[in-house]
Amino acid sequence: MQDLKEYESGEREYRGVAERFVRTGQGKAETERRGYADFLAIDFDSMAKENADLVGWLHIPKTKISYPVVQGSDNAYYLKRDFHKNGSVYGAIFADCEVEDLAAADNVGLYGHNMKNGAMFGGLKKYLQEDYYEDHKEIHFYTKEAVYIYEVFTVYTAKMDDEEAYKLTVGTENLPSYQVAMKKRCDFQTSSDVDGGNILTLSTCHGSRGTTIRCLVQAARTAAVEYGKR
């Protein structure tokens, strides 16, 4: 019963945030012309007034993953706190505390819980299936200034202390070779081309409670669409 109440609380929290600050169906004709899934319209200014740690919004078209992204001073604070910093089993989707500039970083790590009901990053494990990967390759990361478009190029499992998998500083000249190496970790041949774009790494627990294994979905940036130029 307690678990049910905690899950319901988490659902209310993020449903409320989305209802208050996000509008769908914006710019449909323009985004279709560009070949992307439809963009969202997000009120970052109002949302930031409720949590100054806000750094973006992660949205994966055709999935349940559509959440605000925060960044704390460490990688523990938001494990058990929601967007409004209240205690929650859902926690929050948060960026690695060591990333200083999300737009320019070689590799931005985003972390979230693998919830049993599929919420937060509970759906990432589906990417381990080739058919699902092929139908959900596009990822959008929103900031106040732009929408960054990414294409998933690999998915695999790794130990939580795997330094290569969680390597944040790769070096622009090394991004293509790093991506090739990470593609080899995937159990199937992904169809995405590797061109050295900045990386977004989504990570969540994989397996039973307390596991040290993580499921990682890595995507390379293919475009940056500034607001007002969509």
Contact 188, 154 (CB under 8 A): no
For 122-179, how does the pLDDT look when each residue is reduced to its tens digit (9 = 90+)?
999 999 999 999 999 999 999 999 999 999 999 999 999 999 999 988 888 899 899 9
For residue 115 the two structure tokens come to 């919830």
Structural domains in the chain? 2-223 (2.40.260.10)
In eight-state DSSP terms, residue 114 is B
Residue 118 burial (10 A CB sphere; 0-12, 13-18, 19+): middle
Whether 48 has a pLDDT exceeding 80, the answer reads yes
Give the residue-averaged pLDDT of 183-198: 87
Across 20-24, 75-79, 95-99, 109-113, least confident range = 20-24
**Side chain identity at residue 87, one-letter code:** G
For 54-100, how does the pLDDT look when each residue is reduced to its tens digit (9 = 90+)?
999 999 999 999 999 999 999 999 999 999 999 999 999 999 999 99
Q: Which residue has the higher pLDDT, 34 or 135?
A: 135
Whether 230 has a pLDDT exceeding 60, the answer reads no
Percent of the chain scoring above 90 in pLDDT: 76
**Side chain identity at residue 183, one-letter code:** K
pTM of the shown model: 0.92
CA dist 199 and 149 (Å) reads: 11
Smallest Cα–Cα separation from 106: which of 23, 225, 220? 220
Whether 28 has a pLDDT exceeding 90, the answer reads no
Contact 217, 202 (CB under 8 A): yes
Which strand (E) or helix (H) includes residue 68? strand 66-70
